[in-house]
Structure 1
């Protein structure tokens, strides 16, 4: 395991850049995002995003550049985090508001400008919300310590600031302490996938329970934080959501998500899950997505929810594009 501590650095330039990206108090720079934020940046291709209420901005990661950017009201972006020493492609992104930082899952799907086929990339980094400065970086592939393929995908935040990270290439969920120390929370062969397929993907916490989606087969799994060995599938009534990607909790008994066709099957859809019994069972409903290849739902201000399409379909076809969309749903 590699944990890199905070490094002293001048922040004047980064702070000035943030002023242009919406990092001002609410009274000085209110930002109520439009129903559709038509994003545009040089082949950004964001896979996940969050609403940063304190700074009145969306933050999105980049598969292509391995960065985190703040989205302006007009859809333009300004880079907040750029860590070329570690970040290849930013996959999941999560806010730790209590500690003033953004957490990012780092992996290498092979479409980023920093792609290196000789390396196994799976890690989590923490970066200051004001300056973008690195606070720690932890190599999760080293934590797994099995010599296998690994891909850090999504992040859920625990009640004490610990982060829970899914691994799409191995049947693992990691637990990362607020200081960056990490361990394997779950290793279970029922979560394994065929070589080359994406498995574990979206993860959310509802109370003391983690809910985890599996991309390749559309299954949903329930994990009690105090009893991780008791991992159980959720019995879902309704169509199987093949290509289940980002998940978003909208209440203790409701969960929303997206499916996409990036894995070669499934459909571009929005899914809603409701559970009457603490996520032992759930009922799923599906409707068509508004934009191609959605990968995440982002909780916006005032209870709003935005669907994110970073045009991964084009990126994986080898045709980088400058457009992305955040659409209220």
Structure 2
């Protein structure tokens, strides 16, 4: 068991762990929407050159979701009751020419991970917007060789971003004088950097004591505790290669395994320290699903158009990845 001391902010965030979030809703079977007036898929607008989508963030209170696009960095927005979506933030807005993970905090603020947007360019790595689309922050991460991949809200209300190059997690928060970014965890002495995308999907454990983080290139999962510990989560019998987006509903963790064309379901302990394989199901062989989020009792999956061929419409978010 390996440990790493995090930034001093850990002590402060640990004090606020109890009683901050509601339990996750139960999720109906994918596509099981007959008679309730909600579409089973949502159309995303693309551009003439072709679009590749990746991240999704959900605002449970407002019934709104946001989807990021890789080749231009535009952000699309939809509502749970309509199959149509709109381009919410255009390509190139605020120096954003690619976008990856995306999430929403309790106030409805939208956090966007820029992937390699700032790598060698000096452009921002992450952005924060109000629900009305007002830019609240465009930030560089305080590290070199950064690929900001995915993001989750912590028990303190701050946003935590994974780095797919080195084993770092960044914390973005507004302490009253504007949003700032800090290295919250550096586990490079525990987690080996391998070729490809390293840290990716991130979710909070049920008891809110840790983050569960995927390292898809080597098929591993890691627990980043708010006590400063970093431990591998060993899941015997599970193939977690290409683990990308993570969705936790109570003790059930759905792992979206993009180019493996699979969903792997795990049963996870409350503290995120242990997990057991439940099922491994094949998704549609001709589609690549990257990330997913729950919204109003369903999981919404992003159909990315990743792959060797040029992306072609229709582009969509769907409740049925099979």
Query: Which TM-score band (shorter chain)?
Result: 0.7 to 0.9
Whether 2:320 is the aligned partner of 1:321: answer no
Report if aligned partners of 1:69, 1:78 keep a CA contact under 8 Å in 2.
yes
Deviation by residue 1:124-146 (Cα, 9 ceiling, x = unmatched): 2100112x121011101xx01xx
TM-score (norm 1): 0.75
Structure 2: how far apart are the matches of 1:182 and 1:231?
Answer: 21
Map of 1:3-14 to 2, 5 A cutoff?
none
Report if aligned partners of 1:103, 1:124 keep a CA contact under 8 Å in 2.
yes
CA shift at 1:49, angstroms? 1.1
Identify the residue that residue 310 of structure 1 maps to in structure 2: 304
Identify the residue that residue 126 of structure 1 maps to in structure 2: 128
Structure 2: how far apart are the matches of 1:116 and 1:221?
Answer: 26
Report if aligned partners of 2:211, 2:272 keep a CA contact under 8 Å in 1.
no
Identify the residue that residue 300 of structure 1 maps to in structure 2: 295
| Aligned alpha-carbon RMSD (Å) | 2.4
SS in 2 for 1:222: strand
SS in 1 for 2:179: coil
Identify the residue that residue 61 of structure 1 maps to in structure 2: 68
- The structure in which a higher percent of residues are helix is 1
Aligned partner of 2:38 among 30, 33, 48: 33
CA shift at 1:324, angstroms? 2.3
Map of 1:29-178 to 2, 5 A cutoff?
33-42=38-47, 43-71=50-78, 75-82=83-90, 84-98=93-107, 100-108=108-116, 118-119=120-121, 123-130=125-132, 132-140=133-141, 143-144=142-143, 147=144, 149-178=145-174
Whether 2:257 is the aligned partner of 1:250: answer no
Whether 2:235 is the aligned partner of 1:236: answer yes
Tell me, which stretches of 5 or more residues in structure 1 are unaligned? 1-30, 109-114, 262-266
Structure 2: how far apart are the matches of 1:276 and 1:56?
Answer: 29
Structure 1: how far apart are the matches of 2:249 and 2:185?
Answer: 25
Report if aligned partners of 2:39, 2:83 keep a CA contact under 8 Å in 1.
no
Identify the residue that residue 186 of structure 1 maps to in structure 2: 185
CA shift at 1:120, angstroms? 6.3
Deviation by residue 1:281-321 (Cα, 9 ceiling, x = unmatched): 211221011361110122121x21122212122xxx36132
CA shift at 1:238, angstroms? 1.9
Identify the residue that residue 18 of structure 2 maps to in structure 1: none
CA shift at 1:96, angstroms? 1.2
How has the CA–CA distance of structure 1 residues 117 and 53 changed in structure 2, closer, same or farther, with 3 Å as cutoff?
closer
Answer 1 or 2: higher relative contact order, Cα 8 Å, separation at least 6.
Answer: 2
Structure 2: how far apart are the matches of 1:62 and 1:270?
Answer: 22
Identify the residue that residue 279 of structure 1 maps to in structure 2: 272
How has the CA–CA distance of structure 1 residues 159 and 118 changed in structure 2, closer, same or farther, with 3 Å as cutoff?
closer
TM-score (norm 2): 0.77
SS in 2 for 1:320: coil
Report if aligned partners of 1:152, 1:165 keep a CA contact under 8 Å in 2.
yes
SS in 2 for 1:85: helix
Structure 2: how far apart are the matches of 1:280 and 1:116?
Answer: 33
CA shift at 1:193, angstroms? 2.4
